[in-house]
Amino acid sequence: MRALAERYRFRDKVVWITGGGGGIGAALARDAASRGAQVAVTDIDGEAATRIANELGTHAAAWRSDVTDFADCQRVAGAIQERFGGIDVLINNAGVTHLSRFRDTPPEVIERVLRINVMGAVHCTKAALEPIIERRGRIAALSSVAGIGPLLGRTGYSASKHALHGFFDSLRAELTDTGVGVTLICPSFANTDIGKHALFADGDAESARTMTGPVTTPEAIAAALLDGIERGVWTVLPGRVSKLAWWLSRNAPRFYSARMRARLEGTR
């Protein structure tokens, strides 16, 4: 959906990936490195981030980072610039989900999801924005099918992903004259720790008991996003499920909602 004319290349670019210690983030780090990028891997789990950076070799480095703390994001952005000389690309991947009906979910659980998923992206984007503008770079964020339509049982998660679209679509418009591109990707469910360790109504992270749709791989999502960034695509819809969800949510919203409800309740 909507692409810039000139193709962007990752070779020799400095790419900051949040939530890079596993899952889609680790797949993004590996793929970006394979395209010739220098990779800054950050994660709340510093040891996991370090393992990925060590795997990638001398053109990668890792930092522990808490995206909910703006001062910490500023610290990390400064450290990345000191280590690599700048920041070209920021990929906001860090996130958390939950799996519980809204009527059973304390507001504190949804607040935590919003703080990590939305304010985490805001904090990192603000911290990296000026260096990225200087290099006419790129900003990306991991959204979801939950950001383009309803997702029953994940009201807070869906709200956070809708918020990302509002924020980054508006930011893209603000940055029109800077040469900076902004890309969102809306995958369906992936086989990653964000789904395996969803928050439940009590706020604890446990192994998720159910998925709402077909599962894809972190590697496929990573490749689709990096390809989308290179092509200047505004919104990447990887795979049949994402494209179908986008179309149905706009053209047959009642049917889409009914199918979501049927899957959540385990019926056909």
Catalytic annotation, residues:
157
| Residue 205: Cβ within 10 Å count | 15
Contact 98, 146 (CB under 8 A): no
Q: Where do we find the tokens 């000389």?
A: 85
Q: What are phi and psi of 127, to 5 degrees?
A: -65, -30
3-state SS record for the chain? CCCCCCCCCCCCCEEEEECCCCHHHHHHHHHHHHCCCEEEEEECCHHHHHHHHHHHCCCEEEEECCCCCHHHHHHHHHHHHHHHCCCCEEEECCCCCECCCHHHCCHHHHHHHHHHHHHHHHHHHHHHHHHHHHCCCEEEEECCHHHCCCCCCCHHHHHHHHHHHHHHHHHHHHCHHHCCEEEEECCCEECCHHHHEEECCCCCEEECCCCCCCEECHHHHHHHHHHHHHHCCCEECCHHHHHHHHHHHHHCHHHHHHHHHHHHCCCC
Contact 24, 216 (CB under 8 A): no
Contact 33, 8 (CB under 8 A): no
